[in-house]
Structure 1
Amino acid sequence: MPDYFHGYSVVGLVAVVGVLFVAVSFAAGALLRPVVPTREKMLTYECGVDPVGENWAHTQVRYYVYAFLYVIFAIDSIFLFPWATVFASLGAVTLVEMFLFLGLLALGLLYAWKKGVLTWT
């Protein structure tokens, strides 16, 4: 029975040490940092440029679309690599399921390409 709980005690000890490390780090930062609020420090920080003008700015949506497409295909690889490592033991049904999954992703990519989302102009 002691061997059974030994694994849990190690995980619990590592979790407690991690929480203590974070708490001590935050406490040390709060005690050691200088607190001198000035008018310049209270300004909104925008990439090193002082905020001037209107508060409305146009954002290019295409950057978000590329980031979203990257996330989709990163998740695809997360599903694909583990499946490929155990493919031989799973059988032909999983091969059909994976081709359906990849086909749906290909249809989504084709739709994005047809809508002109992938052009950079």
Structure 2
Amino acid sequence: MSTHLILSSVIFVALALILVGVFLLTRYLGPNKTEDKLKNTVYESGVTNPVGSTNIRFSVKFYLVAIGFLLFDVEIIFMFPWAVNILELGFAGIIKMFIFIGLLFAGLIYMYKKKALSWD
């Protein structure tokens, strides 16, 4: 057997034993659960008795705003390295970035036409 295989096996077993040991220590050394009814009640922003059901449906506009945020957040991630290396990329890099920005602008227009950016 290879020494690397033996070493990795020993490390794997040691980590597994340490993990089991940590779980056992927290079980026996940690605080015990108490059957306090006041502690287990719902508390939400000062309201002790929540009103309504927790199974409410959200409007699709919330999801469109979230997707739009991710879309334009990822845009910045791709544009920063381009801006740093603009001289090395040359004219072809500029054309590719304008195509990329155009596609993102088309997504913004789509969101505007679906009225995802306007709130009722």
TM superposition score normalised by structure 2: 0.62
Shift of the 99–46 alpha-carbon distance from structure 1 to 2, 3 Å rule, reads farther
Aligned to 1:36: 33
In the comparison of the two structures, how many residue pairs are matched? 101
Gaps of 5+ in 2: 1-14
Greater relative contact order (CA < 8 Å, ≥ 6 in sequence): 2
User: Which residue does the alignment assign to 1:106?
Assistant: 105
- The aligned counterpart of 2:116 is 117
Report the alpha carbon displacement of residue 90 of structure 1 after superposing the two structures with TM.
1.1
Counterpart residue type for residue 38 of structure 1: E
Tell me, in whole angstroms, the C-alpha distance in 2 between the residues paired with 1:72 and 1:82: 17
Q: CA RMSD in A?
A: 3.4
Structure 1 residue 46, shift from structure 2 partner: 7.4
Unaligned runs of 5+ in 1: 1-18
Mapped to 2, the partners of 1:60 and 1:37 lie a distance apart of 40
Q: Which residue of 1 aligns with 2:7?
A: none
The residue aligned with 1:64 is: 63
Write the distance in 2 (CA, Å) between the matches of 1:119 and 1:35: 50
Q: How does 1:8-87 map to 2 (within 5 A)?
A: 27=23, 30-38=27-35, 40=37, 47=44, 50=49, 54=53, 56-87=55-86
Q: Structure 1 54/75 Cα, relative in aligned 2: closer, same or farther at 3 Å? A: closer
Correspondence for 1:92: 91
Task: Give the conservation status (yes or no) of the 8 Å contact 2:44–2:50.
Answer: no
User: TM-score, normalized by length of structure 1?
Assistant: 0.62
